[in-house]
Structure formats: C-alpha cells, structure tokens
Amino acid sequence: MLARDLVNHPANVMTPTRMADAARGVAEATGLEFDVIEREGMVEHGMGALLGVAQGSEEPPKLIVLKYHGDPDHPENNLGLVGKGITFDTGGISLKPAANMEAMKGDMAGGASVIAAMSAIGTLQPKINVTGLIAATENMPGGRAQRPGDVVTAMNGKTIEVINTDAEGRLVSADALCYARKLGITRLVDVATLTGAIVVTLGKVCTGIMGNSAALAGGIKSAGERSGERFWELPMLEDYRELIRSDVADMKNTGGRQAGSITAAMLLRELPKTPNGCTSISRELPPRPTIKGIWSRAQRVSPPARWRSWPLHWPTAVEPIISLDGIATTPRRWTHAQQ
C-alpha cells in the first residue's frame, strides 16, 4: 500500500525531492541507513546517462540509497534492488502523445516498489545485506533537454547514443546499476516500468523478466507465484545485441520496434559487470508497483566479417555537454550503403 500511495500521488506533489523524503521517512522508521546523491555528486561520479535525462527538468535529480545490514560479517551475502524513479515522463524531446500522458506520474513505480520493499526488509530483518537504489528525476522537454543524437557517458565509461529521449528509463537505471557495482553488490534486481513493448507482448496479465542467472530468475518467479505476481521470461540471445549497435558510441538507447523490451534489457546488461544481474520490465500503462526481473554481465562478441573498421576519432576538443570524461571512441562500421 505504501508503494501504491507513492505511485498515486500527482507528479506536482511526488517530485524527486518528495520521493527522497518518503525514503528518508522509511529509513527513520525501520532503522535503515539513508543517503541521497545530489546533482553535484552525480557529476563527481560521472553519471552522464542519469544527468542527461535530468537536464531538461527544473526539479533536481536524486539518487536515493537505502541500506540494510542484516549480515555485516559476510558482506558478500548481498542483494541490490534498483528502481526506476521517473516521477513524470513526457518523453522529453521525443514527446509522447497527449492521450493518457497523465498516467506517466506512475513511471516511478519501480522506485516506489524498492522503497516499500526496503521498508518490509527493515521490519522483517532477514539475514542478508540489501541495498535499495532509486534513480529519481523527471523527463521533460525543456530548453536544456537532451536531444536525439546526443551521446552520453555512463558512470562506467560506456558511451550511449540517444536515439529516442523517451527511452530514458534504461539511461537512469544504467548509472544506478553502475553505482551498485561500485558498492560491491553482486546480485542485482532492476525494477522498472521500462517499455510499452512489453504490454504488446504480454498484455496486463504478467510481467516480463529477463536475465542470465537461472537461479535468480527462478527465485523471483517462485516469489511471484506465492505473492500473486506472475512473470514470463523472455530470451536474451546475443543476436539481439546487433539491434543496439551504434556507429558513434558503444551502443544506442533503443533498437527500434523489433524486440523493444529485450533490447532495453540488452543495453542494461552492458553496465553491471556481474554474472548475477537482474532487471524487470513491467507494463507501461498503467504501471504496477510490484514488478521485478533479471539480467547480467555483457558478453561482447566480435562483429561479423561484413563489418569493416573505419579509423574515425572524435577531436579531443569536441565533447558533448553531458560527457564528463569525453567520448570513448569506437571504430565506425561501414553501412550497407557505403559497402
């Protein structure tokens, strides 16, 4: 009910700051450790993907961190819960249609789920160390908003070409996942109203789940069966990686209409370097607060022989506004037309 209350607040009330306040209240009530990384801290950590989404909004972004130390003598016994916290999603420059846009106040349902889960964990006190991270911001079409074609640099140095600014959830989650890995978390579950494509695939009957840890996926699906939340696992075949290849960056933030939910997961698995990463993609309209899923470490494969390298490098004096470490250049591929 806590998660639902957070989701049901209008976006002019449930701002990233108010969301952080709600998390602080949970921490104080249950004895959790609480922290918030502000915009300045995001800059220091190099969270260019999250900052790129946030730069179009007047509301300051927040990376909310809740920690429960249930097994302090065994720090390796850990779990990370990452929640998408887009408190209102207009789509940015790639503006959504007006119809049903009011429901986008619920695009922070993943983050609300994590806050509520951490409340329960703090109350139940299981013997495990759990960290909850919520990347909270708005996605707005302001004068400083990022544009299609921009290139942003995630916390781990991976560069992402922004094809569609409405594919923002994977960008904010990317930096949250990277930060979770910096904290030493080895099992990650990302919870997000990430794609409308999953609604086309599964409707509103069950939630999509993707990953490469069979044990973790099985545990999540088993928990779902007990709690009335049904999951359906989608494939994470390496072939899908081709859909998010970019000519100017390590990857692009959307692969188009084909396998839209899977390509979102393929991007996110490029970020956390752990064999037990997780994410979930839930239905976009209306969002539900109890969604989970899974994924993990990227396995980069050599490009097919038909791709030829082109020694293209960005001038060192040219840096995108959002890039904090410059652009990491990658060989450009010949297009079919150039061949």
Q: Among candidates 327, 21, 7, which has minimal Cα distance to 151?
A: 327
Does the annotation count 241 as an active-site position? no
Residue type, 234: L
Angstrom CA distances, 98 to 90, 101, 104, 146, 164, stand at: 9, 5, 11, 20, 17
Does the annotation count 170 as an active-site position? yes
Please give the DSSP secondary-structure letter assigned to residue 217.
H
| Torsion sign (Cα): 185, 52, 297, 114 | positive
Q: Which of 4, 24, 96, 273 is catalytic?
A: 96
Q: Which of 18, 67, 170, 241 is catalytic?
A: 170
The gap from C-alpha 141 to its chain's centroid, in whole angstroms, comes to 20
Cα separation of 170 and 105, whole Å?
17
72: left (phi over 0), alpha (psi -120 to 50) or beta: alpha
Which ranges constitute the DSSP H helices of 252-322?
A: 260-269
| Phi–psi pair at 23, nearest 5 degrees | -65, -40
Which ranges constitute the DSSP H helices of 125-228?
A: 169-182, 197-202, 214-227
Q: Which residues have a Cβ under 8 Å from the Cβ of 171 and sit 6 or more positions away? A: 49, 50, 52, 53, 152, 154, 160, 162, 253
Catalytic positions? 96, 170
